[in-house]
Structure 1
Amino acid sequence: MGRPEYPVTSANQGLYRLALWLRQARHEAGLTNAELAARTPFNASTLQRATSGDRVPRLPVVEAYARGCGVSAADARRMWRHARWIEHRALRPYGKSAPLPKLISDAADLLAAVRELYYKSGAMPLREMEVRAGHGRLPHTTVHRVLNGTTMFEFGQLVAFLEVCEVSEKEQKDWQTAWMRAWRHRGMYAPASGPDRQMYYARELERLNEVRESVDSWRRVRPPQRPPSMAHSLQAAWERAVAHHGLGEYLHERSIEARGFHRDSVLLWVPDDETGRDFHARAAGMLRDALRRESHESVRFFLFVREEDGDRAVERFLPGPEVGSAA
């Protein structure tokens, strides 16, 4: 018998609702923390702390908790984002609100709105945003500079940022239009024609060259980059292993999708049929061997099935002969 759970007490109402919702999901699934841990990449202590109400847990823990209980990870993310936003507003109660996307007129407005969206979306670690966006789409260094107000997103980077923040398609169009207005506004002060226009662009070119020289100088003397996180390393090794064994078409044909990478665990989504056993029989061994050769010695695969529950998708854990343990 596990330790009794203490009542949830938190001044953060978003965190309070999240913790109760997760506890209820586990109780309805009839799982102990230890049994739930066998379905996730996290141990029982981490899962128990996630529902204590002491602090907002990390998003991967919340998502894994929900999937292990067979409830909607999307609902869990929405509640987690709300809890993080309340936490942020409590620390900065007098911050100025940013304009809505439809009211953005220049770069300053856009940067302020992006910063507010980042915090409303949970302010997840920048490296995690980079992983969720997909390789190369949203460099964490670029997001850091945008949040500090020193640069603007390129169009593709803005789209990736909005996707990670789970902005609806309708709202994304408003953001994209706002981005175009902000970039047009940058050239409003150029003279229309004549010698003044030529002098203006000559000064802009000179200023751009100075910036480039400063950046090149900084790159020559900057300290070495930190090593990639375990999740980044595992994702890159997975992609190389799939390519090495020519399994890309196999995974695509069976709609097997790998999106969750947590230290020594790969989370995969499969159709609700024999695909899970087929994956283990034909591909899991090859992929494990390839990952082990790249120092990922104890990789575990967790399979989930997406199911429609009314107007929302629920991810159900799919137990298998090798799921949750190293081969």
Structure 2
Amino acid sequence: MSTVQKVRRLKEVPDGDSAVGQLACALRRTRAALGLTQAQAGDAIEMSTSTVQRAEAGDVAPRKCVVDGYVTKLGLDSEEAERLYREATRPPGRQRRPLTQAPSPPMVSTPDELGRALARAWEEDNRPSMQTMEDRVAAVRDADESQKRYPFLSRSAAYRISHRQQLPSSVDQLQSYLYACRVKERRFPVWIKAYHRVKEREKEEATAKKAAAREERSRWRKWGSSSSATLIMLRAGLQPSEPFPRSDTAPWTAQCVSCGLISRFRLSAVRQGHACPRCATPPS
């Protein structure tokens, strides 16, 4: 009489969202993708079946040699394995700080969004030191002549970019920074596109700002001088306390000659009859 071997159904990982649970799920997925049982996986990585079972149970973090076996023998991504193992074995009390909220590179369109996305890339790599980042780029340049496209990344530049104090000065520096954060090179093109979008937007905004400034200067040249603006304020019962800001929409500090209130006024509003808020209506 033939016998049918029962396949033991694995229990669900107790806490799939925890660091240990995520590592256990990654080990399970890697084994399942090859169609191996836990016993067969144990033979492949030269460990006992019980060791594989404990590693995939998600109750405690497995030993590093077990995770390394999944990497070398079963094809688990080495970067993912290192990150998950590092999180799973992090000592209590040293919980990971919250990650910067940032859009994915394809959604980036502003300098602020790009800065936050770059900061998050550094944080997702467990915030390597600036010296480590500099050394990673230097090492790849020294090891392979074809990697000379990665320019030197100084510790100060790495710090300013990772802490959102500046954006990369060029596409080459962007690539060096991403490499230092161990972002996979196949992801570089989407980051480069995001960088170009941001730079194009900065250029458009700078052009618009210059055009607005030219228009403002042209408008006030027609008035003759700032004395015309001062006269409008005086007629409204307001004595300017500082030089004219050369814009009818910029705040201008002045004092009401009737009640003594010192406030900030916009010339465009004063021209429309809005003067001292305390007096309600400008003096005649």
Smaller-chain TM-score bracket: 0.3 to 0.5
The higher relative CO (CA closer than 8 Å, separation ≥ 6) is in: 1
Please give the TM-score of this superposition, normalised by the length of structure 2.
Answer: 0.41
